[in-house]
Every structure is written in C-alpha cells, then in structure tokens.
C-alpha cells in the first residue's frame, strides 16, 4: 500500500484534473474525463484525490489505460460496478507539485497572480489582481492609479513570463490601456 502526505489536502493546494464520468466494465473500473492540455503527462499516476462531501480523499491507481482525453482507471479496493458507480460525478484533483512545469510564454493562471504586468509602451501597469475566465476569453485584471485595466490573454499580447522577477511582459492592443486610463 502506498503512503501519501497524511494531512488533509485542500483544493487551494491542488489543481483540478477532471471528473469521474462513468463506470467502465464490470470489475470496478471508472472512466476519468480529463480537463488538461496533454493527458500523457498523467499516465504514471499512482493516486489521485476525489472530492467526496467536500473532503479530498485519496484513491490509489492499479492501472491506467489512456483513451484520448479520457483514462480508464482501475482503482485499488474498488472491485464492483456498484462501488465504481458511487464515484461517478466526483471531481478529480492532484497536488500542485504534480503540475507539469511550463516554460517560455506559457503559464498557469494561479502562478502569475501578483506578477507585475509590464507593457512595452506604458511600462509597469500594476500587479495581476486576478485572471478572469470568460467562456471565449481569459483576461488579466490589473489596477493602475485605482483604475481597472483588463488585458486579453492572447499569444500576440503575452511577450514574456519572467518567473524569477515575477513579471509578465505584454504588448497591449493599441489604444487599450489609454481607454482605461482616460
């Protein structure tokens, strides 16, 4: 039997991996629908956490079979379709330290909170207050001189992520910053 950190983990210490979508087969397997860019990063999972009644509970993996953006998972001590059915709909979480490292202009939204946004024309705009996710676009929220500025997260806007100095360099669309500051 594997041992993981014995203390209770909170969602703030974890990231959302996906959801148990349904049962798979008759021997207690489940289908986990992943919400990640590259499922292959998670093929070696030995455990994951399920949100059961608002408590992140560890479940240990016996076998993973990838299938596109889904995994068929055999969980230790889940031996029947009824036991597997009790897990359907549950959110799947992993500790933050299991997130794959990103480089270049790629970043996780949670990691840049508080980074100073530096525009190539206007200089320092302010620290990132939050990332707001809309269905069609994610945006960066900063405040300069008490005025909110919203900057779209687009490849052509994000120029550089400097993790060491905690700065996010952008080239805001022409007129955007002026619109908020005037």
First to last CA, the chain: 62
**Cα–Cα distance, 148 to 153 (Å, whole number):** 16
Read off the pLDDT of each residue in 95-115 and give the average, rounded to a whole number: 89
Q: In the predicted model, is pLDDT for residue 92 greater than 90?
A: yes
Q: What is the pLDDT of residue 68?
A: 87
> Are 9 and 95 spatial neighbours (Cβ–Cβ below 8 Å)?
yes
What predicted TM-score, i.e. pTM, was given to this entire model?
0.72
Q: What are phi and psi for residue 168, nearest 5 degrees?
A: -120, 115
**Cα–Cα distance, 172 to 49 (Å, whole number):** 39
């Amino acid at each position: 039997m594997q041992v993981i950190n014995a203390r209770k983990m909170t969602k703030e210490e974890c990231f959302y991996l996906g959801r148990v979508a349904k049962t798979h087969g008759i021997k207690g397997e489940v289908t986990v629908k992943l919400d990640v860019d590259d499922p292959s990063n998670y093929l070696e999972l030995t455990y994951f956490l399920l949100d059961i009644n608002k408590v992140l509970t560890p479940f240990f993996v016996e076998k993973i079979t990838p299938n596109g953006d889904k995994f068929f998972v055999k969980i230790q001590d889940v031996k029947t379709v009824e036991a597997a059915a009790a897990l359907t709909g549950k959110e799947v979480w992993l500790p933050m330290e299991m997130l794959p490292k990103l480089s270049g202009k790629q970043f996780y939204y949670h990691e840049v909170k508080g980074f100073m946004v530096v525009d190539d024309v206007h200089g320092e705009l302010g620290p990132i207050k939050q990332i707001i996710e809309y269905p069609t676009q994610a945006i960066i929220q900063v405040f300069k001189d008490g005025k909110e500025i919203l900057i779209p997260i687009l490849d052509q806007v994000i120029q550089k992520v400097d993790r060491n100095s905690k700065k996010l360099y952008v080239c805001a669309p022409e007129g955007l910053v002026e619109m908020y500051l005037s």
